[in-house]
Structure 1
């Protein structure tokens, strides 16, 4: 029972000190790397990130073209943490790598006898077919998250022995180049809801910080099977700003919690900003919030639908909204993100990277039950005109925990060409990756622009670029790997792309 909890409870100095010293909980394993994750760093670089229980004075990575000769060394001074975290985040950038080449690498103090591997980015203009994996709204699996049972009020548990999304991504990772996760990572902020619903044992608010960090670490541990050898490109979602699921209510004790229970370090995207290093400096973007990169015949753009929308607009339940959290903006320049987006789109060489794919967390074309927070009309106001102006091919989102594929749309108007050389962007929402709280129910009847939708199966997106004119999107059911929906977009154009370009250095994945 939450007998000691009150909406205004804050972390005591003693409890805060206990959290601060808990980073040494790993004992002798203090410097041993865990939670390995990769990220593209421009066309010739890779960022290697990992966590440790103790701070490293000089995080170091050895790497090379042979598992028996890691002859190169890179290091940094970035070993950072934040209040209440139990680990340190270490980031090292490897520069001047050969394109589309398999490398072997090993962070210092690793207890693995076999080096890890990664493949560098395909150069722009390489027309070789490839696939990527995309998830949104993916949470921790297992005893602290999505499993075979739920608490009171939750739904959609896994069936016994059912394959979850992280396991499915691992099973099929030989078939995609990288994983793109456009927001809502781990759902560690659900700890309070999970306790109120009787899914996890009750704690006090002060002890909640430890529960939050445990769920967060569980997620990154689980993801390592994918992220240690596939670049893990991420974007911000609303759950990267939260610590208490914003306004959780304990009906038994008639208590509604708000941001006053949030511990510094778990709000304002703090964990997210510490944990990742996306290629914003290489693309003139900002932090892990908005950036772009090229990979083969595709230009990828990550946008931020949570903050910095410009024109005085904010996401419905973010800063100044119902939750009242202090989250952003992250730029001091007015309209920084939209100005960057316009410049980035204008600079794309469509002869070499004919495809432009954008991912942002919140959708605006979706059959949502709660339009006030699920449909981001402010996002539409600032982003859609640029997508139309510059001919963006595909826009990916989540936030609504279901899958919906729409027809190409512009200002609510259906492109008469459909998927056969449309001028309007193609919108797909897939927030069905899975987390503790299950799936959302789509609002029926479906709108006129909806081509296919489902809200009963967990799954992820696989996007295949066949050439400069044909791209296929598939919804893959995590439970058994079957494709529940597939559609191919055709664009009539001439491109200056060639297969392989003589790269594919070393052996392939």
Structure 2
């Protein structure tokens, strides 16, 4: 008989070797039950088959906001004579409106782009489905305009690339009931190979043709060749954002408003010191914000300011030193960044320390890029860091009303989206931080 401490063995004769084996199995099961999440293996770059189609066939269709109640439709054709017109209406096959747009193209070493069309349609009704056709022919597409009031939902994923994990992330975003997608830099990972911009456009088209995609540039968009090609040539030609509509002189930074939210997309790779055009524009834009009309203020850029991962450590420090005081003065609620291929969420923070009137910083550069995950964190975690994990995934930000928003991060657990982090966020408008007597830094915005 065994010792009665193993009472479930009573009545059985078991050898010493068998006891050791059973104990090993029990310990293995127990360890497995309590172990940390085990990350799946990397996935290969996607392969795209060539599809024969007419030169005038619209390709790489994506949409973006273009001012109040207007939407920009962007697509590419191989036919340089194809018209930049969009026909649209609220019933399938019945296009009662027609808009004329503009077009551009570019050359990059031995590569020549197709004709890139940008056509603004509107005014459009809020929360309405529109059917549209590009260039007077080809397939019909369908989009839905954002709501005019709360609630509104943003999906968020940066550093997408074109791998098997990218496909998983896009599938999960597609299952989310969202109104606008925010992408804080590093889109295609073309890295000078211009045909990869084309395959990326085709990859995201099912989503980007149906909901507005609002993007900002990352380091992989730069693609500059000194003395030959300026930086961001491909990005600026293909992904035109509403910079002119927001008073910006550069496609690398801009702002937009939707349903009670003012969103600022900054450029980590545009000049940002206090004498730069971007800095001056940011101050001007922040002064225009009316927190009664848009009680929520969001900011997005590529390189994170708060990062406890060993990857890209300190790369955002200069921009943070230049601009953080402006965001703090204006009462920015949430900052969304990419670049680090992992996920991290902070407390409200300012000046490197928790601050109830600072912004919540979220790093979400985990869309599925080919470079893999950044798995090494500094230990222990800083006081401001709440949750961090090196996994691919996406985020969802549902702003429920003027005072409360629900943030959730969904890890790609194989091919299932698993909600692994979530938090309710209370707006600074409702906290008293925007009262000038409490928030003395606000005077910074008024300084010349």
Shorter-chain TM-score category?
0.7 to 0.9
Q: Quick one: distance in 2 between partners of 1:466 and 1:269?
A: 36
**Pairwise mapping of residues 438-449 of structure 1 onto structure 2 (< 5 A)?**
438-445=372-379, 446-449=381-384
Q: Which of 124, 127, 131 lines up with 2:153 in the alignment?
A: 131
Deviations 1:213-268 (A, max 9, x none): 2322221111001001111111011110137xxxxxxxxxxxxxxx57x9x55x50
- Secondary structure of the structure 1 residue equivalent to 2:83: coil
Structure ranking higher on relative contact order (CA contacts 8 Å, 6+ apart): 1
| Cα distance change, pair 493–306 in 1 and its aligned pair in 2 (3 A) | closer
Give how far 1:492 is off: 6.4
Q: Quick one: distance in 2 between partners of 1:188 and 1:470?
A: 38
Aligned length: 377
Give how far 1:76 is off: 2.1
Q: Which of 263, 267, 273 lines up with 1:304 in the alignment?
A: 267
Q: Which of 443, 451, 473 lines up with 2:386 in the alignment?
A: 451
Q: Quick one: distance in 1 between partners of 2:195 and 2:103?
A: 23
- Asked if 2 retains the 8 angstrom alpha-carbon contact of 1:82 and 1:270, the reply is no
Task: Say whether residues 1:185 and 2:148 are aligned partners.
Answer: no
Q: Quick one: distance in 1 between partners of 2:99 and 2:418?
A: 41
**Pairwise mapping of residues 454-469 of structure 1 onto structure 2 (< 5 A)?**
454-455=389-390, 457-469=391-403
The structure in which a higher percent of residues are strand is 2
Displacement over 4 Å in runs of 4+: 25-28, 492-495
Q: Quick one: distance in 1 between partners of 2:55 and 2:198?
A: 15
**Pairwise mapping of residues 25-44 of structure 1 onto structure 2 (< 5 A)?**
29-44=54-69
- Secondary structure of the structure 1 residue equivalent to 2:199: helix
Normalized against structure 2, the TM-score is what? Answer: 0.79
Q: Quick one: distance in 2 between partners of 1:306 and 1:79?
A: 23
Q: Which of 280, 284, 287 lines up with 1:339 in the alignment?
A: 280
Structure 1 partner of 2:94: 69
Q: Quick one: distance in 2 between partners of 1:28 and 1:401?
A: 36
- Secondary structure of the structure 2 residue equivalent to 1:138: coil
Deviations 1:429-466 (A, max 9, x none): 111111111111232212221100001x2101100101
**Pairwise mapping of residues 78-97 of structure 1 onto structure 2 (< 5 A)?**
78-83=103-108, 84-97=111-124
Gaps of 5+ in 1: 1-24, 141-145, 148-157, 190-208, 244-258, 312-333, 416-421, 496-509
| Cα distance change, pair 229–28 in 1 and its aligned pair in 2 (3 A) | closer
- Asked if 2 retains the 8 angstrom alpha-carbon contact of 1:43 and 1:121, the reply is no
Q: Which of 162, 168, 171 lines up with 2:172 in the alignment?
A: 168
Q: Quick one: distance in 2 between partners of 1:444 and 1:121?
A: 40
Normalized against structure 1, the TM-score is what? Answer: 0.70
Q: Quick one: distance in 2 between partners of 1:393 and 1:354?
A: 9
Task: Say whether residues 1:470 and 2:407 are aligned partners.
Answer: no
- Secondary structure of the structure 2 residue equivalent to 1:482: strand
Task: Say whether residues 1:222 and 2:203 are aligned partners.
Answer: yes
- Asked if 2 retains the 8 angstrom alpha-carbon contact of 1:56 and 1:79, the reply is no
- Asked if 2 retains the 8 angstrom alpha-carbon contact of 1:166 and 1:222, the reply is no
| Cα distance change, pair 129–30 in 1 and its aligned pair in 2 (3 A) | same
Q: Quick one: distance in 2 between partners of 1:270 and 1:371?
A: 25
Deviations 1:58-97 (A, max 9, x none): 3111011211320111112314233313422111111322
Task: Say whether residues 1:490 and 2:426 are aligned partners.
Answer: yes
Give how far 1:26 is off: 8.3
Q: Quick one: distance in 2 between partners of 1:71 and 1:339?
A: 42
- Asked if 2 retains the 8 angstrom alpha-carbon contact of 1:60 and 1:73, the reply is yes
Q: Quick one: distance in 1 between partners of 2:304 and 2:286?
A: 20
Give how far 1:336 is off: 1.2
Task: Say whether residues 1:358 and 2:299 are aligned partners.
Answer: yes
Task: Say whether residues 1:413 and 2:353 are aligned partners.
Answer: yes
Q: Which of 229, 234, 242 lines up with 1:271 in the alignment?
A: 234
- Secondary structure of the structure 1 residue equivalent to 2:244: helix
- Asked if 2 retains the 8 angstrom alpha-carbon contact of 1:293 and 1:299, the reply is yes
- Asked if 2 retains the 8 angstrom alpha-carbon contact of 1:33 and 1:109, the reply is no
Q: Quick one: distance in 1 between partners of 2:428 and 2:316?
A: 31
Structure 1 partner of 2:308: 367
| Cα distance change, pair 28–185 in 1 and its aligned pair in 2 (3 A) | closer
- Asked if 1 retains the 8 angstrom alpha-carbon contact of 2:103 and 2:115, the reply is no
Gaps of 5+ in 2: 1-49, 432-448
Task: Say whether residues 1:425 and 2:359 are aligned partners.
Answer: yes
